[in-house]
Amino acid sequence: MIAWLLVIAGISVMACCAVAAAAVDGVLDRLHLLSVTTSVGFPLTGLGLIAQRGFTEASAMVLLISVLVLLTAPVMSAATARLTAQDAGVVKAHSPS
């Protein structure tokens, strides 16, 4: 029962963020909403699937993918935001900060 609640919670977070991202105009606003799906929605869904199946090879793969997404998604969001800010002229193209 808890496993399905985690899966439903993760899918709900992802669906709400996708609908909200379609409704807002700014690129950075959309990026903010979609980064929540990778840092909250996807791990909740992964934990629910692992809890539902028990620890098997398939759940180990889900765990590995969840960890990879948790590690790489914030970096990609930050890089995309940085490039968008450079394109808009908010930050200098070669500034280290």
CB 65 within 8 A of CB 8: no
pLDDT along the chain (97 residues), means of 10: 95 95 89 89 94 92 93 89 86 70
Q: Cα–Cα distance between 61 and 64 in angstroms, integer? A: 5
- The confidence score (pLDDT) of residue 52 equals 92
Q: What is the pTM of this model?
A: 0.79
Confidence (pLDDT) at 96:
64
Q: What CA–CA distances, in Å, run from 80 to 25, 85, 90?
A: 16, 9, 14
What is the reported pLDDT for 61? 95
